[in-house]
Amino acid sequence: MTSEATTAPVIRADGRTADQLRPISITRGWSKQAEGSALIEFGNTRVLCTASLTEGVPRWLKGEGRGWVTAEYAMLPRATNTRSDRESVKGKIGGRTHEISRLIGRSLRSIIDTKALGENTIVLDCDVLQADGGTRTAAITGAYVALAEAIRFARENKIIPASSQPLTDTIAAVSVGIIDGVPMLDLPYVEDVRAETDMNVVVTGSGKFVEVQGTAEGAPFDRDELNALLDLALLGTEQLAAIQRETLAEAP
Amino acid sequence: MTSEATTAPVIRADGRTADQLRPISITRGWSKQAEGSALIEFGNTRVLCTASLTEGVPRWLKGEGRGWVTAEYAMLPRATNTRSDRESVKGKIGGRTHEISRLIGRSLRSIIDTKALGENTIVLDCDVLQADGGTRTAAITGAYVALAEAIRFARENKIIPASSQPLTDTIAAVSVGIIDGVPMLDLPYVEDVRAETDMNVVVTGSGKFVEVQGTAEGAPFDRDELNALLDLALLGTEQLAAIQRETLAEAP
Amino acid sequence: MTSEATTAPVIRADGRTADQLRPISITRGWSKQAEGSALIEFGNTRVLCTASLTEGVPRWLKGEGRGWVTAEYAMLPRATNTRSDRESVKGKIGGRTHEISRLIGRSLRSIIDTKALGENTIVLDCDVLQADGGTRTAAITGAYVALAEAIRFARENKIIPASSQPLTDTIAAVSVGIIDGVPMLDLPYVEDVRAETDMNVVVTGSGKFVEVQGTAEGAPFDRDELNALLDLALLGTEQLAAIQRETLAEAP
Amino acid sequence: MTSEATTAPVIRADGRTADQLRPISITRGWSKQAEGSALIEFGNTRVLCTASLTEGVPRWLKGEGRGWVTAEYAMLPRATNTRSDRESVKGKIGGRTHEISRLIGRSLRSIIDTKALGENTIVLDCDVLQADGGTRTAAITGAYVALAEAIRFARENKIIPASSQPLTDTIAAVSVGIIDGVPMLDLPYVEDVRAETDMNVVVTGSGKFVEVQGTAEGAPFDRDELNALLDLALLGTEQLAAIQRETLAEAP
Amino acid sequence: MTSEATTAPVIRADGRTADQLRPISITRGWSKQAEGSALIEFGNTRVLCTASLTEGVPRWLKGEGRGWVTAEYAMLPRATNTRSDRESVKGKIGGRTHEISRLIGRSLRSIIDTKALGENTIVLDCDVLQADGGTRTAAITGAYVALAEAIRFARENKIIPASSQPLTDTIAAVSVGIIDGVPMLDLPYVEDVRAETDMNVVVTGSGKFVEVQGTAEGAPFDRDELNALLDLALLGTEQLAAIQRETLAEAP
Amino acid sequence: MTSEATTAPVIRADGRTADQLRPISITRGWSKQAEGSALIEFGNTRVLCTASLTEGVPRWLKGEGRGWVTAEYAMLPRATNTRSDRESVKGKIGGRTHEISRLIGRSLRSIIDTKALGENTIVLDCDVLQADGGTRTAAITGAYVALAEAIRFARENKIIPASSQPLTDTIAAVSVGIIDGVPMLDLPYVEDVRAETDMNVVVTGSGKFVEVQGTAEGAPFDRDELNALLDLALLGTEQLAAIQRETLAEAP
């Protein structure tokens, strides 16, 4: 945060200052079946991200010598405080699920050199086991780790050449919002529902924007508020990028 | 645009400068059946917006003395250059359709005082008859006109008191993007597919943001590029707001 | 009508005599994206017909040297006086929609020489923008114009030889019905709901029947009534055929 | 047939003359579970019709003191010569199924006095066990018998007063068509696929039309051909009505 | 039953002793369209089983020189005492239907030598026309007859060599259950709903088990009860196997 | 196992003897949102079971003073070695999923006194996070722990009286199978695919059967083999019951 004066004194329900992330934990390789996986926690939000690598690409991409990365997001029925019906039982996927799946896929593709991936496909499945706000940003941040692991797997198993570098950068995401006029970082559910403005920001390891999705839930927001939120988001994603680096640096 | 030097000299394929809107046309009352309607054109993009007013609200809102506004977006199969399968035939709605319907609904609700609307529901149907880029921003801009007409209808037919003011502001939207490094306003399809960054911005008549949705399609974008795009968007939505006012000022 | 004495004196709510069509308008080329298109109006009924031409045929027809023509009919949710749920949202197509799509497809195929069309497919989309009775007959009549335009396009773009004549005749359709014992031509919604017998008749430019679909909504009908209705239908389709010819004769 | 000279000498593949029905058999009460049932056979076409009577009516009809009659048609997957996929497995009902279900429902409602039925609902299920052309006309003819049985059941079980007469007439249906220029009655599959024109006619016991659905499969048809087909249809339905009367006259 | 003392004195509502089957009837070749068919009756339960033989196998089995046998089970809406909604209308197949289809398929595959069948597929459709308990066991028992007929057809039509023996055994199934503490054979609906334990047993002609599916509907069951039920099941399936043999021995 | 001589010497791929369970782990309260939860592991099989308690019962049970317990089973797309499509994306639930959900629900209901539960509903969600054989038996065993926790919750929060004892017993399940002629306990995936006979057995804490589901995947099985499998299953479920008791005895 640029302006300590404004936000630092606010102490939130969970004891954090306005510009603090929740405790972040990433357990790499949580799933033994997938080529890459990570169980990521942003406080009580817990998302299992797996990366499934298969040779070949969707039909519309065949023969172009490029790979494909896509994502699917879902929530267990009792990830939330009250149980929701399963989308498989309802027979259709809701708009919110679709929207988040597309966001995760776009975000990860933004740091992939599909030529270097060869004609291979990686599907990122992000299943929310427990939800407490920020599930889509945790999913993007965790999916990056699963993706990096799957690419390491591809290299080690000679699916792509050892010299291939399909990852052009790292990627992380965080939510920010304005509550009672104060911009805050990484909102848990209890803050999220009260936010006047809610923004999800996806940022590369080099500090550039991939997605900026700001929504006025209550009152519209002005240019200054937008800037304060972007400052907070950059602060948070920088820390997330550091945690990602550490996690991936550990021996597998 | 802040920086004339950068953008003014660029002449686009359709003869516009970088900071110019396409020809905008709004035909109010195009549909005789709906309580409110508008056929809106942003160049060759043509969207029919109808507002359907019914007494009563969805069950989860009953008894709270508040109204409800929602939206559904769809595209005719041959609105685009090649025909798409109908979503009704496929038996499910795609992620993009869902996402845009939700965006339109949120945008319009941001300028509605639901208390003043009473326990009434307004559904905005935005059907794209011809698509040439910017269909979602045209839909929001046209839906506002249909919504305003429906509220006028409600007042004239004593469904709400003559003194009720459910509209707290006006709302318009425009797309902006960066093409070959140049920020540009109101992208037609041919530009949209080439844009490195693509942003849809929803702005109130009073110049505040309701939605900012920026996506790096190619390279990630930095803070300066983001600012240049927001400047352009505010320029465009200000002009759209003026056209909306004129349209609604005409005798019905 | 055979019997002037019976029907001529009746003046309908909209000022027409029993054997008069509503004002008919056909705007050819209304859509810029499709190979052929027509916005057709039968009074307040307004249907947008587009023809999409693609090379190739469905799998079951491959290699036979013949083309394929099919149609899809749909209604915008607020084409009618009260809003209907979208079939895409409901996840299934209703029986009425299916039935009308099939009727339009069969009608147009009856005047097509599929050999002369070569292995090309034309899909006619008939979307009802405003409904006031007779939407299926307007759709058939308008779809013919879009189809003829698409075939002209195919010839001009050398998709079929310049000498090919895939159209063997013209086709038009009209509704007729018995109201208070009086056979009437081209029923608007207000008459349609009151009709004892309702009949849709599809007729070639040379005056032969392609479809005769008569339904007793109230009392069953006898042979004389059937004959009176067929007379009226032939009268109406002859006039529609003349309007189609004029529309297509105009420079594109 | 009006003109013996034309049609009588033609001997069809199954040995019939042009104006002859196939062997007709109706087994009343074939199903022990339903309030009314009939297994009907038109040659090798075999349809099981059951009538399910329940108290109450659909919501939109409540409180009007009137009953409701509706129908559902379906085909077993191996009713036909090659197996079709089940519509339940495909997850949607095809257009043809929808169309025929609606036709059967309309036909039966045309001879029902819904006031006399009271607020009761009768659903006719017509399941084709074996298909050899004319399944929809056999279904209508058999459904009438099941319906009459269910009404007798309602009377005997005092669900409606003993004096109620919900049936205003009887109803039967037959297919007719033109093959090699010759109008023929009651087409089996092998003739149906060759017919230039195909017509299904639904006729009351008193000889009036309820539905006339004629379709030119090959060449369009003229007024004389239409008249010849209607003559044949009336001949056939008169015989079917006689068989229905006999069936229902037998002790249960 | 091994122990006459326990069960013989019990006389059931339909006059049977505890160890007696209902009257069993199998009409082979009931359907003229299918390569094999049987209408099977266990008392009032009536199931139409057809076998559809097609050359070729599902994609995942291609090129392995083996055939495939699968089954689909369904119930007519009014097979039961009160009408159920059609699964085709609901747009999805219920869990019970799925479960039984899979059971029938597995049971029949257990006595098939897929090598001897060659690359051919047989689909068994088991449609319940009337349901009075034991529909799945009747379906398996009848499907065997249809399957055997289809294999005879394949041999006679030289689809498989005259010397091929794809059937390695026969297969039949029966339900057993404990009612008021007494193990009973072949439960009709009225007994089925009262059973504390309900078991479906699929047994080969040589007396070995293919499926044992026991469920405690009320109180859990012990080892002795399980044994008594298995004894009864073997008694019943032995009789069913004899009836199958007789049916297939008759000249077609 | 009755016959040590037969099975003890066999050492399986994972080092177990034929009558040994895999390492079992139950983490109670793994999910913070649900009224009851357990993460259960049978070797590498890992299932998250949550119990959702809500007041009220389904409509068909209202006013009877009894509660309801039901279950839903699902697998994450990459729980298995190769990724499966999501059932929510396919828009329908597969037969296997349906079948297992029903099995879990029935099993748990068998040890519930629904009167003592009052008009409350408990939904057990069993989501397979990692699959290595025996997922349905792990799900039943874990769901019991989640259910017991939810009932404790209900008692502590006075949703049911402190003296209510809705649980009448405990319940656990295990798979058994015959591999190369040897009956074995608790099969991992690699054994499961090779098993000639596969059986899932659900047993109460008091050693009675609730479900016995044996299937011959290869050769049919005889009475002796069935008995050997049941012996093994009772051995395994007794150990599982002990682990459940320990888990639930720990302070929450």
Task: Kindly list the residues from chain C whose CB atom is less than 8 angstroms away from the CB atom of residue B75.
Answer: none
Q: Which residues of E touch F (CB under 8 A)?
A: 92-96, 98-99, 101-102, 106, 110, 169, 199, 204, 206, 208-216, 219-223, 226, 230
Of the pLDDT bands very low, low, confident and very high (cuts 50, 70, 90), residue C11 is confident
Of the candidates E91, E125, E130, the beta carbon closest to that of D77 is on E125
Instruction: Provide ipTM, 2 decimals.
Output: 0.91
> Residues of B with CB below 8 A from A221's CB?
208-209
What average pLDDT does range E183-211 have in this prediction? 95
Residues 6+ apart with CB under 8 A from B220: A110, A169, A204, A206, A208, A209, A210
Residue E4: the pLDDT is: 44
Give the start-end residues of each E strand in chain C: 24-28, 36-42, 45-55, 68-75, 120-130, 171-179, 182-185, 197-204, 209-216
* C-alpha distance from residue F225 to each of E108, E201, F198 (Å): 21, 15, 11
What is the chain C residue with the closest CA to B83?
A: C52
Chain A residues in contact with B220 by the CB 8 A cut-off are 110, 169, 204, 206, 208-210
pLDDT over 90 (residue D8)? no
Provide mean pLDDT across the span C136-146.
98
The pLDDT tens digits of the residues spanning E112-130 come to 999 999 999 999 999 999 9
Low-confidence ranges of chain F (pLDDT < 50): 1-5, 7
- Report the residue of chain A nearest F34, measured CA to CA: A78
Name the residue facing F88 among A33, A81, A87 (closest C-beta). A87
Q: What is the pLDDT of residue E250?
A: 78
- Cβ contact E32–D44 (<8 Å): yes
C76, C81, C97 ranked by CB distance to B125: nearest: C76
Nearest to F86 among A50, A74, A129 (CB): A74
Contact F210 E223 (CB under 8 A): no
Rounded Cα gap, residues E21 and C25, in angstroms: 74
Instruction: Please name which of F106, B236, D54, A111 lies closest in space to residue E81, comparing C-alpha atoms.
Output: D54
- Please list every residue in chain C whose beta carbon sits closer than 8 Å to the beta carbon of residue D210: 215-216, 220
**Mode of pairing for the β-strands spanning D120-130 and D182-185:** unpaired
Looking up tokens 């490195």, which residue turns up? Answer: B196
> What pLDDT is stored for residue F4 in this prediction?
45
- Measured between alpha carbons, how far is F207 from C113 in angstroms, rounded to an integer? 76
Residue C82 one-letter amino acid? T
Rounded to a whole number of angstroms, the distance from the CA of E213 to the nearest CA of chain F is 5
* Residue pointed to by tokens 């109230």: C218
Q: Among residues F211, F214, F193, which one has the least CA distance to residue F202?
A: F211
Q: Work out the percent of chain A whose per-residue pLDDT is above 90.
A: 89
Per-residue confidence at C93, pLDDT binned at 50, 70, 90? confident
Q: Dihedrals φ, ψ of F190, to 5°?
A: -65, -30
Q: Where are the alpha helices (DSSP H) in A158-222?
A: 189-192
The answer on pLDDT for C9 being more than 80 is no
Q: Tell me the pLDDT of chain E averaged across its residues.
A: 93
Burial class (CB in 10 A: 0-12, 13-18, 19+), E62: exposed
pLDDT value at position B3?
42
- CATH class for the domain made up of D24-78+91-248: alpha beta
CB contact under 8 A, F209 and E222: yes
Q: Which residue of C has its CA nearest to B75?
A: C76
Q: Is B15 annotated as a binding residue?
A: no
CA nearest D32 in E: which residue?
E130
The whole-number pLDDT of residue F165 equals 95
* Nearest Cα residue in chain D from C106: D217
Per-residue pLDDT of chain B (252 residues; tens, 9 = 90+): 344 445 446 789 899 999 999 999 999 999 999 999 999 999 999 999 999 999 999 999 999 999 999 999 999 999 999 999 999 888 888 889 999 999 999 999 999 999 999 999 999 999 999 999 999 999 999 999 999 999 999 999 999 999 999 999 999 999 999 999 999 999 999 999 999 999 999 999 999 999 999 999 878 999 999 999 999 999 999 999 999 999 999 755
Dump pLDDT digits (tens) for D52-77: 999 999 999 999 999 999 999 999 99
Using CB atoms within 10 Å of the CB of residue E163, give its burial: 0 to 12 exposed, 13 to 18 middle, 19+ buried.
exposed
Give the H or E element holding residue D214.
Answer: strand D209-216
- pLDDT value, residue F11: 86
CA dihedral C206, C209, C215, C221 (to 10 degrees): 90
Q: How confident is the model over C230-240, as a mean pLDDT?
A: 98
- Chain F nearest C-alpha distance from E178 (Å): 13
Query: Which residue type sits at F13?
Result: A
Predicted TM-score (pTM) of the model is: 0.87
As a whole number of angstroms, the distance between CA F166 and CA F115 comes to 7
Nearest to F210 among E211, E213, E220 (CB): E220
How much is the average pLDDT of E169-194?
Answer: 95
In chain F, where are the structural domains located?
24-78+91-248
- Collect all residues of chain F within an 8 Å Cβ-Cβ radius of residue E95: 93, 95, 98-99, 101-102
Query: Which pLDDT value is given to residue B64?
Result: 93
* End-to-end CA separation in angstroms for chain B: 35
Please name every residue paired with D224 in a beta bridge, in sequence order, or none if there are none.
none
**How many residues does the structure list for chain D?**
252
Phi-psi region of C162 (alpha: psi -120 to 50; beta: other; left: phi over 0): alpha
Q: What is the pLDDT of residue F219?
A: 85
3-state class of B123 per DSSP?
A: strand
The set of residues, in sequence order, having a beta carbon less than 8 Å from that of C224 and lying 6+ positions away, is: none
What is the pLDDT of chain D when averaged over all its residues? 93
Residue A51: its H or E element: strand A45-55
Residue C213 has pLDDT above 90, yes or no: yes
Strand, helix or coil for residue B52: strand
Instruction: Show residues of chain F in contact with A31, CB under 8 Å.
Output: 78, 129-130
Q: Which residues contact D156 (CB under 8 A, 6 or more apart)?
A: none
Distance CA B197, CA A210 (A): 9
Distances (CA, A) of E192 to A54, E99, E184, E218, F64: 49, 18, 10, 12, 23
Chain F residue with CA closest to E101: the answer is: F95
pLDDT digits (tens, 9 = 90+) for D174-214: 999 999 999 999 999 999 999 999 999 999 999 999 999 99
